[in-house]
């Protein structure tokens, strides 16, 4: 790929120059008061992005996968039962992690391309009279399939069943790009990472705990050392970490939250929706379909586009890289070779999105698909022209 071109993968995302400079900072003493001036504004900014007044935020040198492990190891004990739907690669990986930790997982197998089955959750939870289920897992945005699930509906299922289970949400490819309401949806743990909506390099696991989740920490007996939030909380109280922090990335996180809040969260969400709608208009003009099976499931951060039967969608990604120096996402798991993915999150504008749409179109024509050159670009242009953002609105 060419470093001159933006990437169109669903993370890591393109970095604004301001954030690149914020990360590339001089070495400081991470035990000095200066570190606290970076740390606490970053944590506070994340709370605002999550729309939470009550959450406690913890940031570990890790990725979203480390965030999953933080959630499990701090709140659960060996043999505890977890309820989860498997509707994509990332929900599958969280389930796998639970099983490796000695947890019992009640799995609701769900076709890839569909959202979380809140009605089935309610049925299972209502039948769990002994409250053996301790946690419900929910993937807000399934990055492999481009499917957005209704977290509010999952919360309603828990409430309708009168069940006390904790609600853990993977928001790795949604938080800071799509609307996320931690308090309103009564999410107990939200997990994300630095490399997607926050537009930073990979390297930070960002986890928020509700008061209910914090109360579960003391009785949990799964092993935890590096990911022990109790040690992290003690460090924060002293403007420090229990070990060496990723100071540059935290400085970038501080600035990223400032940039997102300055743009305005509703503007951020509207920008992502507008860009995604242009990609969807192009997909329709090409005569192709999304993996997501209905419009209410369409993700505003990644589109997984199905190619015709018998065509290997991975060829699109390979050809785009070799001939045009542009990166798209391959299909994963059950949809490997059946879809290619266009990531449209982070530092993107309508104009940048058009370059990705045009490249995907050239690649598919090069590879002999029955697509009219210019059709998808024109459809996206029509949408962007009639749904333009404010001219002075800063993109990221």
SS3 at position 297: helix
Structure tokens at 338: 């059946």
Overall average pLDDT of the 344-359 stretch: 96
Residue 70 belongs to domain spanning: 17-262
Overall average pLDDT of the 281-291 stretch: 98
| Through-space distance between the first and last CA atoms of the chain, rounded to whole angstroms | 23
This prediction has a pTM of 0.96
pLDDT for res 23 = 96
Among 92, 123, 31, 113, which residue's Cα sits nearest to residue 299? Answer: 113
* Residue 393 domain-assigned (yes or no): no
Interval 5-56: pLDDT, tens: 999 999 999 999 999 999 999 999 898 999 999 999 999 999 999 999 999 9
Structure tokens at 316: 């699109």
Residues 304, 359 within the same domain: yes
Residue 393 has pLDDT above 50, yes or no: no
pLDDT for res 182 = 98
pLDDT for res 3 = 83
- Domain count for the chain: 2
Given 262, 293, 319, the domain boundary residue is: 262
8-state DSSP, 81? E
Residue 304 has pLDDT above 70, yes or no: yes
State phi, psi for 43 to the nearest 5 degrees.
-65, -45
pLDDT for res 224 = 97
Residues 331, 379 within the same domain: yes
Residues 168, 303 within the same domain: no
Among 138, 205, 192, 193, which residue's Cα sits nearest to residue 165? Answer: 138
- The contacts of residue 199 (CB under 8 Å, 6+ apart) are 13, 14, 15, 16, 19, 256, 259, 346, 347, 396
Residues 239, 306 within the same domain: no
Which residues partner with 8 through β-bridges? 328
pLDDT for res 1 = 65
- The contacts of residue 193 (CB under 8 Å, 6+ apart) are 11, 63, 64, 67, 172, 202, 204, 205, 206
With 0-12 / 13-18 / 19 or more C-beta atoms within 10 angstroms meaning exposed / middle / buried, residue 52 is buried
* Residue 8 domain-assigned (yes or no): no
Residues 98, 239 within the same domain: yes
pLDDT for res 391 = 41
Residue 280 has pLDDT above 80, yes or no: yes
Round the average pLDDT of the chain to a whole number and report it: 96
Residues 12 and 34: their CA atoms lie apart, in Å, by 28
Residue 356 has pLDDT above 90, yes or no: yes
Residues 341 and 332: their CA atoms lie apart, in Å, by 10
Structure tokens at 254: 């501080």
* Residue 65 domain-assigned (yes or no): yes
Interval 133-164: pLDDT, tens: 999 999 999 999 999 999 999 999 999 999 99
pLDDT for res 235 = 95
pLDDT for res 389 = 72
pLDDT for res 390 = 55
* Of the candidate ranges 95-109, 297-311, 377-391, the one whose mean pLDDT is the lowest: 377-391
- Are 61 and 202 spatial neighbours (Cβ–Cβ below 8 Å)? no
Give per-residue burial for 120-134: e unless 16+ CB within 10 Å, then b.
ebbebbeeeeeeebb
Tokens 């089955």, residue? 117
State phi, psi for 181 to the nearest 5 degrees.
-125, 85
pLDDT for res 395 = 43
* Residue 5 domain-assigned (yes or no): no
Residues 371, 274 within the same domain: yes
Residue 394 has pLDDT above 50, yes or no: no
Question: Which CATH number goes with the domain that contains 192?
Answer: 3.40.640.10
**Residue 28, number of CB atoms within 10 A of its CB:** 14
Residues 238, 273 within the same domain: no
Residues 255, 289 within the same domain: no
Given 262, 297, 321, the domain boundary residue is: 262
**Residue 169, number of CB atoms within 10 A of its CB:** 28
């Amino acid at each position: 790929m060419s470093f001159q071109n933006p990437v169109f993968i669903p993370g890591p995302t393109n970095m604004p120059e301001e954030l690149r400079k914020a990360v590339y900072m001089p070495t400081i003493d991470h035990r000095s008061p200066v570190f606290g001036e970076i740390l606490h504004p970053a944590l506070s900014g994340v709370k605002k992005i999550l729309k939470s007044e009550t959450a406690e935020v913890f940031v570990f040198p890790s990725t979203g996968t480390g965030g999953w492990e933080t959630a499990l190891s701090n709140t659960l004990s060996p043999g505890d039962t977890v309820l989860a739907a498997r509707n994509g690669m990332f929900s599958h990986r969280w389930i796998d992690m639970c099983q490796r930790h000695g947890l019992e997982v009640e799995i609701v197998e769900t076709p890839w391309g569909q959202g979380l089955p809140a009605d089935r959750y309610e049925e299972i939870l209502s039948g769990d009279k002994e409250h053996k289920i301790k946690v419900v897992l929910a993937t807000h945005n399934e990055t492999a399939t481009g499917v957005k699930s209704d977290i509010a509906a999952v919360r309603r299922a828990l409430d309708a069943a009168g069940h006390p289970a904790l609600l853990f949400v993977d928001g790795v490819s949604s938080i800071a790009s799509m609307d996320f309401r931690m308090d309103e949806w009564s999410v107990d743990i939200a997990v994300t990472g630095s490399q997607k909506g926050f537009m930073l390099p990979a390297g930070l696991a960002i986890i928020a705990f509700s008061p209910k989740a914090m109360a579960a920490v003391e009785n949990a007996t799964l092993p935890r050392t590096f990911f022990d939030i109790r040690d992290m909380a003690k460090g924060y109280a002293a403007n420090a970490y229990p070990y060496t922090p990723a100071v540059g990335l935290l400085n970038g996180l501080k600035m990223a939250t400032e940039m997102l809040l300055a743009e305005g969260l509703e503007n951020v969400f509207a920008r992502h929706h507008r860009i995604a709608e242009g990609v969807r208009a192009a997909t329709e003009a090409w005569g192709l379909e999304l993996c997501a099976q209905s419009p209410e499931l369409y993700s505003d951060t990644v589109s997984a586009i199905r190619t015709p039967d018998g065509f290997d969608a991975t060829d699109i990604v390979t050809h785009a890289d070799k001939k045009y120096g542009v990166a798209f996402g391959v299909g994963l798991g059950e949809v490997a070779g059946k879809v290619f993915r266009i990531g449209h999150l982070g530092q993107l504008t309508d104009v940048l999105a058009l370059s990705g749409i045009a490249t995907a179109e050239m690649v598919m024509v090069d590879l002999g698909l029955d697509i009219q050159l210019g059709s998808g670009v024109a459809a996206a242009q029509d949408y962007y022209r009639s749904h333009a953002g404010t001219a002075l609105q800063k993109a990221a």
